[in-house]
Structure 1
Amino acid sequence: MAKHHRFEIHDPATGNHWSLSVEEDRYLLAQAQEQGIHLPFSCAQGVCTTCAVRIRTGKLYQPEAFGISQPLQQEGYALLCVGYARSDLSVELQDEDEVYDLQFGRDFPTKAQPGLPLDLE
């Protein structure tokens, strides 16, 4: 039988707050949806940043979170679509564009070179 944890989600954009019980061996996003909590997501494969959160307290395991770099994971960012609770957990939803910018935006303009391969003119 799977271990259960208390999972709290806060959405600073709307002020909404949810609290639910989740199983340790199931993805957090799927369990939230099953309990009627509709959170933002897109790919549900751990590659985009639509379901990104910042961990306030607790532990989350996310071995398939390719859309969040290790440095950002160490700062507490996580993806709910491929995240598993490993303790009672409290998270805050993040703006997808801000997380994407943290992930890629700082370096992308300085690494792009005219004529390679994105120059379509």
Structure 2
Amino acid sequence: MRIGELAKRTGVSERSLRYYEEQGLLVAARTPGGQRDYPELAVDRVIHIQELFAAGLNSKKIFEILPCMRDTDGGANERATPELVDELRSERDRIDRTIADLLRSREVLDDVITRAGERFAVK
């Protein structure tokens, strides 16, 4: 598929897809005319990349992780090292701490909303 179709199917800009390719995260064949031609598996790959970026990982770490992930072909290239697994656990712990902080912040905000709402309640 061409880059425009991949962008449309994944909701990711063509510019981002080119960046992923520059970083070695995504591979495209070239047509005789020089246009990018992505395989069907690229859709799942881009979704994985987006998920990992959303988790706060950088492109270098994503490059290390992607070969360990399953794509729709059902296979996973088992290149994970014990060091990578430890780093991923650390990332997960960081995310857990962030979630806990956000939950505490929401509780504080809920309390403020409740108290403010009581002040403006019709009596």
TM-score w.r.t. the length of structure 2 is 0.28
Higher strand proportion (structure 1 or 2) = 1
- Between structure 1 and structure 2, the one with the greater Rg is 2
Higher helix proportion (structure 1 or 2) = 2
